[in-house]
């Protein structure tokens, strides 16, 4: 977009609006912005993981052999790297989500609001407990 484009008769109303000039790489300018972008990106990795997981479950409709073959495919270095990266992104999402929960949904104990750090710690505790229960249930009931 050159300067000649602005303020012409084509879009007269737009020239009256304020547009902050932001380079496309604004999110590289501060560590906090980069962390924000990585957090947003985590949802992409999580979504891809869930779709791959769904494809894995879909293999069962073709029989246990197809399922085993798919699991075998996932043991390749590329997929393992993808899942390590995805796990790190997922951990980033969990931690930042619990931090924001402490701010957005503060817990009250009687009249007093609980310290954010305590709410965060409670969330982390619940998360570890839930994860352990899922792992134990899977170990107990897996085929």
Identity of the residue, 25 or 111, whose beta carbon is nearer to another protein in the bound complex = 25
Q: Do residues 98 and 120 touch, judged by C-beta distance below 8 A?
A: yes
Q: Which residue has the tokens 């075998």?
A: 72
Smallest gap from Cβ 74 to another protein, in A, equals 4
Q: Which residues bind another protein (CB under 8 A)?
A: 22, 24, 26-27, 37, 40, 43-44, 46-47, 49-51, 53-54, 56-61, 64, 67-68, 71-72, 74-75, 79-80, 82-84, 86-87, 90-91, 93-94, 97-98, 126-127, 130-131, 134-135, 138-139, 141-143
Smaller CB distance to another protein: residue 94 or 114? 94
- How many other CB atoms are found less than 10 A from the CB of residue 114? 14
Query: CB-wise, 10 or 140, nearer to another protein?
Result: 140
Three-class secondary structure of residue 1 per DSSP: coil
Comparing CB distances to another protein, the nearer of 24 and 112 is 24
Token readout for 5 is 């484009």
Angstrom distance (rounded) from CA 127 to CA 112: 24
DSSP structure string for 61-122: GG-HHHHHHHHHHTTSHHHHHHHHHHHHHHHHHHHHHHHHHHHHS--EETTEEPPHHHHHHH
Q: What minimum distance in Å lies between the beta carbon of 6 and another protein?
A: 16
Q: Between residues 18 and 112, which has the closer beta carbon with respect to another protein?
A: 18
Closest distance between another protein and the C-beta of residue 62, in Å?
10
């Amino acid at each position: 977009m050159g300067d000649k484009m602005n303020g012409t008769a084509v879009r007269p109303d737009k020239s009256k609006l304020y547009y902050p000039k932001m380079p496309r790489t604004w999110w590289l300018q501060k560590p906090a912005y980069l962390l924000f972008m990585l957090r947003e990106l985590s949802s992409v990795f999580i979504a891809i993981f869930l779709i791959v997981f769904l494809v894995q479950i879909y293999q069962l409709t073709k029989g246990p052999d197809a399922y085993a073959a798919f699991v075998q495919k996932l043991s390749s270095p590329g997929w393992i790297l993808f899942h390590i990266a995805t796990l790190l992104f997922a951990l980033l999402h969990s931690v930042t989500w619990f931090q924001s929960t402490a701010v957005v949904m503060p817990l009250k104990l009687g009249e007093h609001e609980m310290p954010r750090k305590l709410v965060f710690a409670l969330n982390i505790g619940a998360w570890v407990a839930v994860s352990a229960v899922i792992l134990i249930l899977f170990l107990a009931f897996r085929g």
